[in-house]
Amino acid sequence: MNNKTFLLKKEEVKRKWHIVDAQDKTLGRLSQSIARVLIGKHKVTYTPHTDDGDFVIVLNADKITLTGNKVLQKEYFTHSMYPGGCKIVPFKTMLEKQPDRIVRHAVSGMLPKNKLRKHRLTRLKVYTGVEHGHQAQKPENLEI
Model's pTM, two decimal places?
A: 0.92
Residue 5 has a pLDDT of 86
Q: Is the C-alpha dihedral spanning 132, 134, 138, 140 positive or negative? A: negative
- Residues 120-132 have pLDDT tens digits of 999 999 999 999 9
52 located within any domain: yes
The count of structural domains within the chain is 1
**Does residue 114 sit in helix, strand or coil?**
coil
Distance of CA 113 to the CA centre of its chain: 14
74 located within any domain: no
Whether pLDDT at 1 is above 80: no
What is the rounded distance in angstroms from the CA atom of residue 13 to the CA atom of residue 40? Answer: 10
- Residues 11-63 have pLDDT tens digits of 999 999 999 999 999 999 999 999 999 999 999 999 988 999 999 999 999 99
Residue 6 has a pLDDT of 86
76 located within any domain: no
Average pLDDT over residues 75-86: 96
DSSP 83-103: TT-EEEEEHHHHHHH-HHHHH
Q: Which range of residues forms the domain containing residue 108?
A: 16-65+99-141
Q: What are phi and psi of 137, to 5 degrees?
A: -85, -5
87 located within any domain: no
Q: Where are the beta strands (DSSP E) in the chain?
A: 17-21, 55-59, 75-79, 86-90, 124-126, 140-141
In the predicted model, what is the mean pLDDT of the chain?
A: 94
50 located within any domain: yes
127 located within any domain: yes
38 located within any domain: yes
9 located within any domain: no
CATH code of the domain containing 53: 3.90.1180.10
